[in-house]
Amino acid sequence: MKTATALLAFFFLARLPAALACVGCRAPGTSGPDEPQTITAGIALSWGVIGMLGVVFLIISGLVYYIVDTCRKLDRQNSTQ
12 inside domain: no
Helix ranges, the chain (H): 2-14, 16-20, 23-26, 37-80
78 inside domain: yes
pLDDT, greater one: 10 or 66: 66
Neighbours of 42 (CB within 10 A): 19
d(CA 41, CA 47): 10
Contact partners, residue 23, CB within 8 Å, separation at least 6: 42
> What is the number of domains present in the chain?
1
AA identity, residue 32: G
Structural domain for 63, as ranges: 37-81
Residue pLDDT, tens place only, 48-63: 778 888 999 999 999 9
pLDDT of residue 73: 94
pLDDT of residue 20: 61
What percentage of the chain exceeds 90 in pLDDT? 28
Q: How confident is the model at residue 3 (pLDDT cuts 50, 70, 90)?
A: confident
11 inside domain: no
